Structure 1
Amino acid sequence: MEGGNKLLFVRGVFCYGGSNLFSMLHGALPPVAFLSALKMSETLFENFDKMSKKQNKEQVPPPAEPQNKKPAPAKPAKKANSSNTASPTKHKNLEEAFKALDVSDLKQQLSRSQTLFPDNPSVWVKDLAGYLNLHLTAPEVEPTLSSYAHDYPYCLTTKELKGVIKGLLGRCGDTVPDFFDHCVYTMLRELDRQSGEPLYGYRVCIQAILQDKPKIATQNLRPLPCLQYLELLRSVHNRPVKCLTIMWVLGQAGFYDLSQGLRVWLGIMLPVLGVKSLSSYAIAYLERLLLLHTNLTKGFGIMGPKEFFPLLDFAFMPKNALSSSLQEQLRRLYPRLKVLAFGAKPETTLHTYMPSFLSRATPHCPDDMKRELLNSMTECLCVDAQSLGVWRQLYTKHLPQSSLLLNHLHKSWNTLPPKSHVNNFFLSLLVNLVVKMKGRGFPWSKLFMALLVFVAGFITHDVRSHGSFADSTTALYLRNSGVTAVSQQAWGKITVYSKEGFSWFEKNTPYYYSECVRVLGPLTEQGLEKTKAAAVYISENTTKFILWVKKTTPLVIEWVRLHMSTPLCINTIIFLPHTLPTKVTDLHSESLPKRKVHHFLSFSAPYYIPLTGAK
């Protein structure tokens, strides 16, 4: 290996792996000091580089564990002259940079790094990122790479290079999350420099990590969880390039896992959706995410009412922070977002959306939003039965909104499902209304019963207080008013007419009875005789039918049995001589032996009827 390459390796180790070297010399740093460790690694390299220029001595990296292991044997790398340290070649585009990348040299550098630091895998991956970033020199484009494929620039890597990257990441294990944070913060630090280097090497490493482990971008058991990235994003809100870089990095997880992509978008991009410089990429990323994952079932359970209704407001409320074009773009994505929000079991979750839908459906809201809210509430009422109870509780608090919903249900009544919860609800509501309307009439029956009880009680008390009915005040009042005389006269007439009626019945009943017997007697006897004859006829025919069934059932069973054995009959006929009888009478011919005739008759009964007396 030439001196320039050796120096490049040493610079790579101390520049990109300096934090691990510092940890090895002075103890492991806590996660909070992650960024400061990176800064100290730069200072360590600069001091080391200055000392090497002054003394021009050989440099040998220290061993990983000086107490237990001896330093790995390595040839000293001599300090190269300034004429030998050539700067990286600038390429026209990234495709040329990947073609010019020497994978064998990368393998050699990584092998030496693993030999020098066998127990420090963080040095390996940082050397990998540093090597790639140093050699993938191409003009830097906008930070989101929106004009390229979703896996650009990782899609440009060769199969051999992918194998090297995947293999090294697989051997690093638990250090991969820290390496992910290292790549992110190194990219942000490079953006602070006026003449910053291209960041394609770190982008490739980030995409390689998230392709296999997309949860690294959102898991909470890391020094820099998603919420801390949100705080970092807010801290650099006046630096759009840094913000877009953070959004691009975390958004790579969604291209391989829809649930992680939704978590990133809801946790990182939705809070900054109103920022003018970031809204365009946030909505473009959401559109690419939903178009890439056609199966939305993997994203169920991520979005709830808390995340859904801000999107509803952004999509339909006019004059919000989004431009009209971005709002229209978000409105096209709204149906798929609605499916994700309602989840796999809308029949058990839609009632949680009903209060927010109802509170927004004011008479003065925009027509498009009002139409969407009314349709959504109708869906809630038809699908989730608990939505009716929620609406009943909120009815008096939201009377204008409830009026709009009732009018909408009235207009769309014919289009509702026939057996929906809304139909059952309104049917029970109408029944209760009819009952209440009937109950509003004057209770005449109750009043009559009350008066009757009162009069009976008064008369009873009057009779008991005076000793008898004749001496009571009631009887005196009836006599004075003439009611007693009229009642006695009416009772006398009723008695007279009743006696006359009884006497008429006693006189005429025998006569009319004899006439009825004379006229109806013969007809009755004739009807009884015909009924008896019909019963006898039915009984006889039923008996005959039963006997016929008993007689024919065995024959039918035998016929079915023989009919099912037709193949056996055919086989028997085939093995008979060619001189088979053509008529039934030919069966008595002497040309056939008796054994064969009997055999033929026994197996061909469905086709031949044996004659009486045949032997």
Structure 2
Amino acid sequence: MAPPLPSRAPPLSLLTVVVVLCMVLPVLFQMDVGELKQQLDRSQTLFPDNPSVWVKDLAGYLNHALAAPETDPTLSSYTHDYPYCLAGKELRGVVKALIGRCNESLQDFYDHCVYTMLRELDKQTGEPLHGYRVCIQAILQDKPRMATQNLPDYLELLRSVQNRPVKCLTIMWSLGQAGYYDLSQGLRVWLGIMLPVLGVKALSSYAIAYLERLLLLHVNLTKGFGVMGPKDFFPLLDFAYMPKNALSPSLQEQLCRLYPRLKVLAFGAKPEMTLHTYLPSFLSRATPHCPEDMKRELLSSMTECLSVDHQSLGVWRQLYTKHLPQSRYNTHTVQSLGVWRHYLHSSGVMGVSQQAWSKVTLYSQQGFSWLDTNTPYYYSECVRVLSPVLEQTWERTKDAAIYISQLTTQLIDWINHNTPLLVEWLSSSTPDSVFLLIDYLKQLLLFLHTNYLLPALSHASHLIVQAWTALQDSCRLHVLSHPTLNNSNNSIQNITLQPTRWLLVVVA
């Protein structure tokens, strides 16, 4: 039987999103920031030595003022920085200034916001939580590490309320905000909080959607190196390729699309030093009965391990008899890859390439010899003929530069004097709606990138992989004799490694 489909919150309609925005935007734009400042000044006067009271009063005031309905605990229909992105510059300045004065209390304040949101969810009235969400986003925007300080405690809390999906999703949203500003912290949150509950019916959809958005926002994966290791990577491999697991087919397919980038993150900055630690787990999974897609991925990964990390061969030698069927199949695959060398020789490509290279080398040597002989003569002639002209040109250029400098001195002084005034005027005169329009454009571009560009690239990479597989199959028909294992290993390093790694990069 197929695994049960995970319950996924129905997507909000465009009308619902517009209604919520129409309720939140006027409140944020018309909020009396002066009244908020008075409230905070009163709190600081009454409790001058207790910053935790100041920030808690800030959160309480914002949550009372932003009385918009909670339609979805994950806010998945909005941009990742909603609702904080709707706050005006003045309100953001007040929030940032107060948070900056309470560094020692920020961890407690962050935990207070999360736990207060969970307590509010117990009330039947359905109190709004936007004020606490704004504070959480304001904290993690500058200090994303706050979310990962107490991950074990939050995982225990998540498991204790696992029968309350709304609370679980609220915890996951609160911690996941760190990842939008720091990829490494986002990966720590995902591996520490969301991976343990991957497969839970009500939580899997958001966990994978968050991972997809995280990897989409951070194109440069190098900032996430060093976070994921073998113990984190192989559960993801099993979820992506093993049939009949706790994920629905659609979620499993979505995870498969993310797998190449997760693989890059797992192998890290120096795969030549780490891949031998992955080989045993790849080898143990490559059984004759594993699914074909998974078998191809395992064999490709083991080939990369043996080709890139020289320590992998010693590890394989130790495990050869323990995993005899897998080792035998892997040996056949490694040997069959040596067909490239035979194909290049038998088809004449190797001979033509060598002949072309020899001609290029010969003509290059002749060209360098001619340059070595004639360059001094032509250089001296150029100096003799062009030197007077260049000197005259240089003198005129200096005169022109002095003249232009004198003409533009007043203009430069005027610009230096008026540019700061112009910048200040533009900053004060630009309405907040312009920034909101920019956020909408960013969301539109993100939608086009996710729903059109990425599927097109995925389809193109799939066609390339199919063509690559067909070429390998056609090459095997030309095999006349099997090379030894060592010769095959050299074939992998010298011939097949580059196109294989190129394809992996394209898929990623």
**CA displacement 1:140-169 (0-9 Å, x = unmatched):** 111000110000000000011100000000
Alignment partner of 1:197 is 2:122: no
User: 3-state DSSP class of the match of 1:396?
Assistant: coil
User: 3-state DSSP class of the match of 1:215?
Assistant: helix
Q: Distance in 1 between matches of 2:21 and 2:172?
A: 27
Letter matched to residue 374 of structure 1:
L
Alignment partner of 1:174 is 2:104: yes
2:293 is aligned to 368
Alignment partner of 1:112 is 2:37: no
1:283 maps to which of 199, 203, 208: 208
1:293 maps to which of 218, 221, 224: 218
Equivalences for 1:386-397 in 2 at 5 Å?
386-397=311-322
Equivalences for 1:253-402 in 2 at 5 Å?
253-402=178-327
Letter matched to residue 71 of structure 2:
V
Instruction: Determine if contact 1:91/1:137 at 8 Å carries over to the other structure.
Output: no
What is the CA distance between 1:112 and its match in structure 2?
1.4
**CA displacement 1:419-457 (0-9 Å, x = unmatched):** xxxxxxxxxxxxxxxxxxxxxxxxxxxxxxxxxxxxxxx
What is the CA distance between 1:567 and its match in structure 2?
6.1
1:95 is aligned to 25
1:406 is aligned to 331
Letter matched to residue 215 of structure 1:
R
Letter matched to residue 363 of structure 1:
P
2:158 is aligned to 233
Q: Distance in 1 between matches of 2:21 and 2:241?
A: 47
Instruction: Determine if contact 1:92/1:139 at 8 Å carries over to the other structure.
Output: no
Letter matched to residue 293 of structure 2:
D
What is the CA distance between 1:359 and its match in structure 2?
0.4
Q: Distance in 2 between matches of 1:116 and 1:140?
A: 33
User: Structure 2 regions of 5+ residues with no counterpart?
Assistant: 1-19, 342-376, 389-508
- Change in CA separation of 1:178 and 1:567 when aligned onto 2, cut-off 3 Å: closer
Instruction: Determine if contact 1:113/1:124 at 8 Å carries over to the other structure.
Output: yes
What is the CA distance between 1:94 and its match in structure 2?
1.4
What is the CA distance between 1:92 and its match in structure 2?
5.5
Letter matched to residue 121 of structure 2:
L
Equivalences for 1:200-211 in 2 at 5 Å?
200-211=130-141
Alignment partner of 1:132 is 2:49: no
**CA displacement 1:72-108 (0-9 Å, x = unmatched):** xxxxxxxxxxxxxxxxxx9962112212311111111
1:613 is aligned to none
Instruction: Determine if contact 1:214/1:254 at 8 Å carries over to the other structure.
Output: yes
Q: Distance in 2 between matches of 1:131 and 1:414?
A: 71
User: 3-state DSSP class of the match of 2:76?
Assistant: coil
- Change in CA separation of 1:137 and 1:91 when aligned onto 2, cut-off 3 Å: farther
Letter matched to residue 119 of structure 1:
D
What is the CA distance between 1:407 and its match in structure 2?
1.6
1:212 is aligned to 142
1:252 is aligned to 177
- Change in CA separation of 1:91 and 1:372 when aligned onto 2, cut-off 3 Å: closer
Instruction: Determine if contact 1:92/1:138 at 8 Å carries over to the other structure.
Output: no
Q: Distance in 1 between matches of 2:137 and 2:272?
A: 39
> How many matched pairs?
332
Letter matched to residue 281 of structure 2:
S
Alignment partner of 1:187 is 2:117: yes
Q: Distance in 2 between matches of 1:296 and 1:164?
A: 34
Equivalences for 1:568-587 in 2 at 5 Å?
none
- Change in CA separation of 1:91 and 1:294 when aligned onto 2, cut-off 3 Å: closer
TM-score (norm 2): 0.63
Comparing both structures, which one devotes a greater share of its residues to helix? 2
Letter matched to residue 65 of structure 2:
H
Q: Distance in 2 between matches of 1:406 and 1:151?
A: 50
Which fold has the larger relative contact order, with Cα–Cα distance below 8 Å and residues 6 or more apart in sequence?
Answer: 2
Q: Percent identity?
A: 76
**CA displacement 1:531-550 (0-9 Å, x = unmatched):** xxxxxxxxxxxxxxxxxxxx
Equivalences for 1:592-611 in 2 at 5 Å?
none
Q: Distance in 2 between matches of 1:414 and 1:248?
A: 51
- Change in CA separation of 1:415 and 1:142 when aligned onto 2, cut-off 3 Å: farther
**CA displacement 1:254-283 (0-9 Å, x = unmatched):** 000000000000000000001010000000
Equivalences for 1:468-479 in 2 at 5 Å?
none
User: 3-state DSSP class of the match of 1:344?
Assistant: coil
Q: Distance in 1 between matches of 2:165 and 2:260?
A: 30
Q: Distance in 1 between matches of 2:189 and 2:60?
A: 27
- Structure (1 or 2) with the larger CA radius of gyration: 1
Q: Distance in 1 between matches of 2:339 and 2:100?
A: 61
**CA displacement 1:557-602 (0-9 Å, x = unmatched):** xxx9xx99x969x99xxxxxxxxxxxxxxxxxxxxxxxxxxxxxxx
What is the CA distance between 1:413 and its match in structure 2?
2.1
Q: Distance in 2 between matches of 1:97 and 1:246?
A: 26
What is the CA distance between 1:297 and its match in structure 2?
0.2
- Change in CA separation of 1:386 and 1:91 when aligned onto 2, cut-off 3 Å: closer
TM-score (norm 1): 0.52
Q: Distance in 2 between matches of 1:328 and 1:109?
A: 51
What is the CA distance between 1:217 and its match in structure 2?
0.7
Instruction: Determine if contact 1:253/1:261 at 8 Å carries over to the other structure.
Output: yes
What is the CA distance between 1:296 and its match in structure 2?
0.3
- Change in CA separation of 1:148 and 1:231 when aligned onto 2, cut-off 3 Å: same
Q: Distance in 1 between matches of 2:28 and 2:336?
A: 64
Instruction: Determine if contact 1:395/1:402 at 8 Å carries over to the other structure.
Output: yes
Equivalences for 1:449-468 in 2 at 5 Å?
none
